[in-house]
Chain A
Amino acid sequence: MKMIHRSLPALATALFASASFGAEVETITIKTLRAQMRYDVTEFDVKPGQKVKLVFQNDDDMPHNLCFFQPGTDVIAAANKQMEKPEEALKRNWIPDDPRMWAHSKPLNPKESDEVNFTAPEKPGVYPFVCTFPGHAAIMQGKMTVGETGQRLPGLTELKFELFLGNWKSLPDFAKLKAHREGDVKDNLVQINVDDYKNEFGLVFTGKLDVPKDGEYSFFIASDGGGRIYVDGRRVVENDGIHPADKVREGKAKLKKGAHVFRLEYFQAAGGAELYTAWGGQGFVTTHLSKLEHPDMKSAGKPKKNKNENTGMPLVVAQEPIIYRNFITGAGNRAIGVGYPGNASIAWSAEAMNLAIAWRGAFIDAARHWNGRGGGQQPPLGFDVFRATELSQPFAVLAEGATWPALEKGARPAGYTWRGYELDAKRIPTFRYEWEGVKVSERYEVAGDALTGDGKLVRTLKLDGKIPAGALFRVASAPKITPQGAVFLVEDGRVVPEIATESKFLVTAEGAKLTGKDLTLPARVEIKVTYSWPSLLGTH
């Protein structure tokens, strides 16, 4: 249920009554971020007297509101003042009784939304907004800037497209390819559906951009499929590879007043296809250059969105390994990340009781979990991530012709008990678990340097107890495993959607035998497996 609020006190109404332009209603959408006590938009710009429709949506799992105050208001103090008379504040549902507040949403329960319609003040300035529920104001706030130059930039003119056909995983050199078809884009807006192709195509848009004054401008791109923008032949921003369009990339270019050449390259492999672009800067409101308008490209020039909260706290491995137990992408809900000296890391799963993923380079960024409430899965910070096997149990006794038991997401394999781990003098962990009465210990060490040299990840399992007859250990599983002498090249494509690299590794293990897509060996008292990265050894 949506309600329209007009909550302007008399003074403010009088102030805004002279609004002479901006008849067009500007729609601003602000959502609350789940588990972070923040708004997703913390800054936006409007023109003086602009009619604004604010859509406020509470995606968090606690109640919030959004209250606008006059410039210069200490909004934290204004919100906290309510705690002095909590009985009265409670009756007002924590909407402050403060003459400086000039508009507000209704208090929203989780998953509710509201619409606040108001006319922006004529007086330029920074108007803070804040959630006034007790304790929220300290971090849950933002600002609306009423600016003199809140005008749009011009759009593209003389926009043309070239359509290419092909199956790419990254942007090809379109200059070397022959276009399948070309034509004019009538509405001068960048768009994907210039033809009926849904998969395996590329597009190059070329148009004229009229820069109104000298200065630095921001160019934004977000795309499902790869995209890249050139201005006057110089690359400004790129978002190559295959990924969803949720992340907006921004690049800047210093441009002189006058006409410039805009070129946007894009390719689509398969599945979802979206393309967004916009430009802004020099006090202008961000102007969309694509038919689709990305919500995160609302305004230009400044960091508007609460997007960078989840990066920037890398855990740097020095002399000792670092252990990080948290939600790690691809490693289930009971992940144990270990960053080893020697520039290799693993995520072990105390759910599957097995190695989940391994990578080289940097270990992990803890910011996602150590800011806000810490929700979500964190992918590795390094690169060349591989998945040893599908996330499932390491040992099994298979009936004739049976395949390796799969593990439902979040489930734990039967017959396995997690026992914990120990650290040795070098602080290297040895994981311990039991399988069918057999005590298993498992330890990893990096030989060499996985970043620059010929680093290898050496995994040693020791089994203590009566090993069930016919028990197998699975070394690797992938659709493509190629023996190269004693070494196997394991290629698995992109196994974890959030990790933008292909799983590819070399593995050696004495007695390993390839059966279908599984590389297994008979379980024995000691098993040694050596993993390395083909890109390191020049066999890429």
Chain B
Amino acid sequence: MKTLRILIGLILATAVLRAADPQESDYYKITTFDTPPGTALEVGSIELLPDGKLALGTRRGEVWTVSNADSDPANVKYQIFASGQHEILGLAYKDKSLTITNRYEVARLTDTDGDGRADKFETVCDQWGVSGDYHEYSFGSRFDKDGDLWVVLCLTGSFTSQVPFRGWCVRVKPDGTMVPTCSGIRSPGGIVVNYDNEVYYTDNQGPWHGACTLQHLIPGTFQGHPGGNKWYDLAPNMGPRPVDPIPEAFQQGHKKGTPDPDRMDAERKRIKELVPPVVYMVHGKIGNSSSFIVPDLSDGKFGPFSKQMFIADQSHSNISRVFIEEVNGIKQGVVFPFRKGFKSGLIGGRMNEKGQLFAGGSDRGWGAKGGQPFSFERLDWTGKVPFEVHEMHAKPDGFELTFTEPVDEKTAGDPASYSAREFIYAYREEYGGGEVDDKFPKVTKAVVSADKKSVRLTLEKLTQGDIHELHFDGVRSADGRPVLHPIGYYTLNEIPAK
């Protein structure tokens, strides 16, 4: 019986293949909602409410509650919950209150009279500075297991730190106390408390950031941009100020106008508090402006990528997929393209228990591919499994790839089906920067596992600190499909011993 079903499946799949190459939309479908009239629903944050409703926080400072967003979009209903806030880039529900993060405070909003609108706006913490500069965005997480809320504070103008704790991550304790937690933030785009209580945020390309990055917020660490480090004096819990990374102008032998020779991998050895990016969201290819981080905790309802992270991009109006692992105590991982074609620049996102990913945003001030000024959308798994690299693990001499479907042994076992490139961005003071240190290591061996679900690749040479760009163009699934997104970018902070 089972064999027969697989056979029929194979025949059907082949038939579909002949009709057209697999498309992203075959596997993940975007539903676009109408938005309430009279406002620009520039979604900056999304939270789940207990009764299946959603809360949307917007750049215009409104909170909308949304009903029926999990069903037919024609049934969606909006109600205004709060307005007049100074941008809402963080929403967290707890004990019948919605805690918002706005530009200068964390505040608890409660509807005490049950009319569906908040009437109590209690400030929980307003202890970080705000200078009046437009760029000082504040992104708030949801509550971690201790009930703390994490806030990442953009630098003043995204370059300097004019008031305390701009360029920092702070934790807000349940009693409102603010604890300086990490320095080195530049211009965040999203923050998440992951299922294991580890906290991550996205930062954006600029000085000391050759590309956008996914970063791991370990209390006490320095995340790479020294602009806010003068506030160590106000944060005795953080210990002494770390040594600064060396701007290119002060590096020995550096000629003006030539690429900065400094590398994150080298500076990590010198600056003990410096945490390298978990994943570089490769500029121009994965995106230009990383924003929300949504872990898939739906246990298979969103497809085969349980517990992986889905990271959006404001500029590219897309979502990428990130798998991370820990090597030698450092988080690192790989990013794959996942789904493009959202209507505006994505900023806020959240997945419900049904595995529906809600995403919204705006292109105001920073253009986006989507083309619409703002949007609120839903991404659903169609139930079909795309043929993709599922996980990519670093090995001492290469990588292990696991696939979502059994591979075709012939193509997957042929090193010629793969190609590899290495590069990195200079860790430099100047804005952004190109890909440097190009290398093209040969894939020397590709061994398919007995269950046909993984392939062990051996590369000629691995370089610690480099981004390893792997192409899987020649690989086919057992039923003959190509890999839907035949490229991955692995940030190799550490090479495992085994």
Q: What is the interface of chain A, defined by CB distance below 8 A to chain B?
A: 35-37, 61-63, 80, 83, 86-87, 89-91, 109-110, 134-140, 322-327, 333-334, 336, 350, 366, 370-377, 410, 418-425, 427
Contact of B371 among A91, A138, A324, A420 (CB under 8 A): A138
Assuming the A-B contacts A61-B159, A373-B364, are A135 and B104 also in contact, with contact meaning beta carbons closer than 8 angstroms in the complex?
no
Decide: B315 and A134 in contact? CB cutoff 8 A: yes
Assuming the A-B contacts A35-B134, A323-B84, A327-B132, are A420 and B367 also in contact, with contact meaning beta carbons closer than 8 angstroms in the complex?
no
Question: Which 7 pairs of residues, A with B, have the shortest CB-CB distance?
Answer: A323-B84, A375-B134, A373-B365, A86-B284, A135-B367, A420-B123, A325-B86
Q: What is the interface of chain B, defined by CB distance below 8 A to chain A?
A: 40, 59-61, 83-86, 102, 104-105, 107, 113, 118-123, 126, 129-135, 157-159, 163, 206, 283-285, 288-289, 315-316, 345, 363-369, 371, 430-432, 434-435
Decide: A35 and B132 in contact? CB cutoff 8 A: no
Which residues of chain A are near B315, meaning CB under 8 Å? 134-135
Decide: B283 and A373 in contact? CB cutoff 8 A: no
Q: Provide the bound-state CA to CA distance between A41 and B157, in Å.
A: 23
Decide: A90 and B366 in contact? CB cutoff 8 A: no
Which residues of chain B are near A374, meaning CB under 8 Å? 59, 134, 364-365
Assuming the A-B contacts A63-B431, A135-B288, A374-B365, are A333 and B132 also in contact, with contact meaning beta carbons closer than 8 angstroms in the complex?
yes
Q: Provide the bound-state CA to CA distance between A89 and B119, in Å.
A: 51
Which residues of chain B are near A334, meaning CB under 8 Å? 104, 126, 130
B373 to chain A, nearest CB (A): 10
Decide: B61 and A325 in contact? CB cutoff 8 A: yes
Q: Provide the bound-state CA to CA distance between A322 and B123, in Å.
A: 19
Assuming the A-B contacts A61-B159, A422-B119, are A325 and B85 also in contact, with contact meaning beta carbons closer than 8 angstroms in the complex?
yes
Which residues of chain A are near B121, meaning CB under 8 Å? 420-423
Decide: A418 and B126 in contact? CB cutoff 8 A: yes
Contact of A61 among B113, B118, B157, B285 (CB under 8 A): B157
Decide: A322 and B84 in contact? CB cutoff 8 A: yes
Residue of B nearest to A419 (CB): B123
Decide: A37 and B366 in contact? CB cutoff 8 A: yes
Residue of B nearest to A138 (CB): B367
Which residues of chain B are near A418, meaning CB under 8 Å? 105, 123, 126
The winner among B60, B159, B371 for most chain A CB atoms within 10 A is: B60
B110 to chain A, nearest CB (A): 9
Decide: A110 and B368 in contact? CB cutoff 8 A: no
Further contacts, 10 of them, CB under 8 A, given A62-B431, A410-B132: A90-B434, A135-B315, A138-B371, A322-B84, A325-B102, A333-B132, A374-B365, A410-B163, A423-B119, A425-B113
B316 to chain A, nearest CB (A): 8
B242 to chain A, nearest CB (A): 25
Residue of B nearest to A136 (CB): B367
Which residues of chain B are near A410, meaning CB under 8 Å? 129, 131-132, 163
Q: Provide the bound-state CA to CA distance between A421 and B289, in Å.
A: 35
Which residues of chain A are near B105, meaning CB under 8 Å? 418
Which residues of chain B are near A62, meaning CB under 8 Å? 206, 431
Decide: A333 and B367 in contact? CB cutoff 8 A: no
Q: Provide the bound-state CA to CA distance between A421 and B121, in Å.
A: 5
Decide: A333 and B120 in contact? CB cutoff 8 A: no
Which residues of chain B are near A86, meaning CB under 8 Å? 284-285
Q: Could you jot down 10 A-B contacts, CB within 8 Å?
A: A35-B135, A61-B157, A89-B284, A134-B288, A333-B130, A334-B126, A372-B364, A374-B59, A420-B107, A427-B119
A75 to chain B, nearest CB (A): 13
Q: Provide the bound-state CA to CA distance between A304 and B195, in Å.
A: 53
A381 to chain B, nearest CB (A): 15
Q: Provide the bound-state CA to CA distance between A137 and B434, in Å.
A: 21
Assuming the A-B contacts A89-B284, A334-B126, are A138 and B363 also in contact, with contact meaning beta carbons closer than 8 angstroms in the complex?
yes
Contact of A80 among B345, B369, B431, B434 (CB under 8 A): B369
Decide: A61 and B135 in contact? CB cutoff 8 A: yes
Q: Provide the bound-state CA to CA distance between A111 and B120, in Å.
A: 44
Q: Provide the bound-state CA to CA distance between A373 and B345, in Å.
A: 14
B138 to chain A, nearest CB (A): 12
Q: Provide the bound-state CA to CA distance between A37 and B131, in Å.
A: 22
B122 to chain A, nearest CB (A): 4
Which residues of chain A are near B85, meaning CB under 8 Å? 325
A377 to chain B, nearest CB (A): 7
Q: Provide the bound-state CA to CA distance between A419 and B135, in Å.
A: 25
Q: Provide the bound-state CA to CA distance between A91 and B283, in Å.
A: 12
Which residues of chain B are near A134, meaning CB under 8 Å? 284, 288, 315-316, 369
Contact of B122 among A322, A370, A419 (CB under 8 A): A419
Which residues of chain B are near A420, meaning CB under 8 Å? 107, 120-123
Decide: B366 and A373 in contact? CB cutoff 8 A: yes
Contact of B368 among A135, A333, A423, A425 (CB under 8 A): A135
Q: Provide the bound-state CA to CA distance between A218 and B84, in Å.
A: 40
Q: Provide the bound-state CA to CA distance between A36 and B157, in Å.
A: 13
Q: Provide the bound-state CA to CA distance between A418 and B133, in Å.
A: 21
Decide: B284 and A135 in contact? CB cutoff 8 A: no
Which residues of chain B are near A371, meaning CB under 8 Å? 364
Contact of B367 among A91, A139, A370, A427 (CB under 8 A): A139
Decide: B369 and A83 in contact? CB cutoff 8 A: yes
Assuming the A-B contacts A90-B283, A137-B367, are A370 and B158 also in contact, with contact meaning beta carbons closer than 8 angstroms in the complex?
no
B243 to chain A, nearest CB (A): 26
Which residues of chain A are near B288, meaning CB under 8 Å? 134-135
B378 to chain A, nearest CB (A): 23
Which residues of chain B are near A375, meaning CB under 8 Å? 133-135
Residue of A nearest to B313 (CB): A135
B277 to chain A, nearest CB (A): 19
Which residues of chain A are near B130, meaning CB under 8 Å? 333-334
Contact of B365 among A35, A87, A137 (CB under 8 A): A35
Q: Provide the bound-state CA to CA distance between A63 and B431, in Å.
A: 8
Q: Provide the bound-state CA to CA distance between A36 and B364, in Å.
A: 8
A9 to chain B, nearest CB (A): 25
Which residues of chain A are near B285, meaning CB under 8 Å? 86-87
Decide: B366 and A323 in contact? CB cutoff 8 A: no
Q: Provide the bound-state CA to CA distance between A322 and B86, in Å.
A: 13
Residue of A nearest to B39 (CB): A370
Which residues of chain A are near B159, meaning CB under 8 Å? 61
Which residues of chain B are near A83, meaning CB under 8 Å? 284, 316, 369
Decide: B163 and A37 in contact? CB cutoff 8 A: no
Which residues of chain B are near A370, meaning CB under 8 Å? 40, 60, 364
A339 to chain B, nearest CB (A): 10
A469 to chain B, nearest CB (A): 28
A425 to chain B, nearest CB (A): 8
Residue of A nearest to B120 (CB): A422
Which residues of chain B are near A327, meaning CB under 8 Å? 132
Assuming the A-B contacts A138-B363, A350-B126, A373-B135, are A90 and B104 also in contact, with contact meaning beta carbons closer than 8 angstroms in the complex?
no
Q: Provide the bound-state CA to CA distance between A427 and B105, in Å.
A: 21
Which residues of chain B are near A137, meaning CB under 8 Å? 367
A82 to chain B, nearest CB (A): 9
Q: Provide the bound-state CA to CA distance between A410 and B162, in Å.
A: 11
Decide: B60 and A63 in contact? CB cutoff 8 A: no
Q: Provide the bound-state CA to CA distance between A63 and B283, in Å.
A: 14
A334 to chain B, nearest CB (A): 5
Contact of A135 among B118, B135, B366 (CB under 8 A): B366
Q: Provide the bound-state CA to CA distance between A322 and B85, in Å.
A: 11
The winner among A109, A135, A427 for most chain B CB atoms within 10 A is: A135
Which residues of chain A are near B363, meaning CB under 8 Å? 135, 138
Which residues of chain A are near B113, meaning CB under 8 Å? 425
Which residues of chain B are near A136, meaning CB under 8 Å? 367
Which residues of chain B are near A35, meaning CB under 8 Å? 134-135, 365
B94 to chain A, nearest CB (A): 17
